[in-house]
Amino acid sequence: MKFNCNKSDLIDAISIVQKAIKTNSTVQILDGILIQADENGVKLTGYDLETGIEADLVSDVKENGSVVVNSRFFGEIVKRLPEEMTTISSDDRNQVTILSGSANSVIKGNSAESYPKIPIIDNKDRITVSQKLLKNMINHTIFAVSKDDTRQSLTGCCLESDGKTISMVAIDGFRMALRREDAGSDFPVMNFIIPGKALSEASKIFDGENDDNEVIIYSSSNHLLFDVGHVRIVSRLIQGPFVNYNSIIQKNPKSIMTVNRKDLLDAVDRAALIIMTDERRCPVQLTMSDDTTLMVSANTETGTHKEDIDVTVEGDTVDIDFNSRYLIDALKNIEDETVRIEFNGSQGPCIIVPTEGNSYVYLILPIRR
């Protein structure tokens, strides 16, 4: 194998595929990047048996071939190359030579034959969506994905469509994050549970600025492929069913609060400073002495904080405790100036929704006193 490329392009491709590589993998070959050169160009691949990322590299191929190189070692060498023009080659013993200017590095590689194959997904079932839209939905829900492997379906986000609306939902047992976007009238029906890691890495690759850039989603019964042209992300699917999230959204709240989102976010953020990392059970407290003032407070061994903000409330006044991080995560992922918060007593879940429309729902369980 032999090809020429620009150092900056190679660095970009390495950084993309490294997102799928576990540095502490018990299978040594998975610490590597698969490099393949043929008449179609050069492709780099990272794969951890659950998430695979392929990145195309602009290059001038001189000899076809393939090799696996240690991801971290190869990446560090390439970053330090002295010149932009770089030549990568390998021999029949899988020795990899990296040339740039007067610098000549030779490292030991591995046979590409021992590298696991990324699943091939038939391109018959395909969906096209905006990268910006999907990135936005991921970023506004991914924080609520569960880390508990005993509930596999909750370690991913549920991406579904009824043909008119696209929804993405994450639930970790203590909170829920739901985003909805209009899909138009002829969007295909779908329902996938996608691992949180795959979505997190895909979000870093998607373009969040240009409305015109699209991602094509290919699916099979067990895998999903995100194709953005020069980069492809393959992920296994988590087998459902997902939680019936509509059934946990309370319909008849005891209290409905309207509040300035930033005022509440800032107040909770300041109160959270009193709650040290080893005092996570210590809540931020939301209490009301009348129907126009909400007091946000925290009281720990470190100190105390109290702050009043203006609100309006319909129904009962509020007296409830929350994990401050859950409130902050929800509020900072909302752009609206004003939000509506529905409470169901001091023990029931609170629900944060728009004052108009239904583009998002954030549900948080309180801390019991």
pLDDT in tens, 327-350: 999 999 999 999 999 999 999 999
Task: Name the pLDDT band for 78 (thresholds 50, 70, 90).
Answer: very high
- Give 308's strand partners: 295
Q: Looking at residues 35-63, what average pLDDT do you find? A: 96
**Pairing, β 190-195 against β 175-182:** unpaired
Nearest to 18 by CA among 56, 49, 44: 44
277 band by pLDDT with thresholds 50, 70 and 90: low
Checking if the pLDDT of 279 tops 70, the result is no
pLDDT digits over 111-134, tens only? 999 999 999 898 777 899 999 999
Sheet containing 95-100, strands listed edge to edge, beginning at the edge strand earlier in sequence: 60-63, 2-6, 85-90, 95-100, 103-108
106, pLDDT greater than 80: yes
Residue 303 falls in which region: left (phi positive, over 0), alpha (psi -120 to 50) or beta: left
Over the stretch 80-95, which tens digit does the pLDDT of each residue have? 999 999 999 999 999 9
Residue 334 has what pLDDT?
A: 96
Residue 278 has pLDDT above 90, yes or no: no
Domain boundaries, the chain: 2-114, 128-215+236-243, 249-364
Task: Say what percent of the chain tops pLDDT 90.
Answer: 83
pLDDT digits over 30-47, tens only? 999 999 999 999 999 999
Mean pLDDT, residues 152-161: 94
Lowest-confidence segment of 32-41, 110-119, 246-255, 309-318 by average pLDDT: 246-255
CATH code at 249-364 = 3.10.150.10
Contact present, 30 and 48 (Cβ < 8 Å): yes
Find which of 14-28, 122-136, 140-154, 181-195 is predicted with most confidence, using mean pLDDT: 140-154
Confidence grade of residue 185 (pLDDT, cut at 50, 70, 90): confident
Do the beta carbons of residue 89 and residue 69 sit within 8 Å? no
Q: How far apart are CA 36 and CA 111, in angstroms?
A: 11
Type of residue found at 164: K
Question: Is residue 87 within 8 Å of residue 2, measured between CB atoms?
Answer: yes
- The DSSP 8-state label assigned to residue 110 in this structure reads B
Q: pLDDT-based confidence at 255, cuts 50/70/90?
A: very high
CATH number corresponding to 128-215+236-243: 3.10.150.10
The backbone region for 160, taken as left when phi is positive above 0, alpha when psi lies in -120 to 50, beta otherwise, is: beta
Question: Looking at residue 6, what is its pLDDT?
Answer: 97
Q: How confident is the model at residue 57 (pLDDT cuts 50, 70, 90)?
A: very high
Phi, psi of 65 (to 5 degrees): 160, 180
Work out the end-to-end distance of the chain between its first and last CA atoms, rounded to an integer number of angstroms.
66
Residue 240 has pLDDT above 90, yes or no: no
The answer to whether the bond into 349 is cis (omega within 30° of 0) is no
Average pLDDT over residues 50-71: 97
Q: Does domain 2-114 have CATH number 3.10.150.10?
A: yes
Average pLDDT over residues 306-327: 95
Give mean pLDDT, residues 244-273: 93
Is pLDDT of 147 > 60? yes
- The counts of H helices and E strands in the chain are 6, 25
Mean pLDDT of the chain: 93
Return the half-sphere exposure (C-beta side, CA atoms, 13 A cut-off) of residue 194.
32
Tally of residues, the chain? 369
- Kindly report whether the global pTM for this prediction surpasses the value 0.85: yes
Predicted confidence at residue 280, as pLDDT, reads 55
Query: Do 249-364 and 128-215+236-243 have the same topology in CATH?
Result: yes
Instruction: Give me the pLDDT at residue 22, please.
Output: 82
Which residues, 6 or more positions from 252, have their beta carbon under 8 angstroms from its beta carbon? none
2-32 pLDDT, tens digit per residue, is 999 999 999 999 999 999 998 777 788 999 9
**Dihedral sign from CA coordinates of 355, 357, 362, 365:** positive
Determine the average pLDDT of the residues in 211-217. Answer: 91
Where is pLDDT greater, at 230 or 123? 230
What is the pLDDT averaged over residues 190-219?
Answer: 93
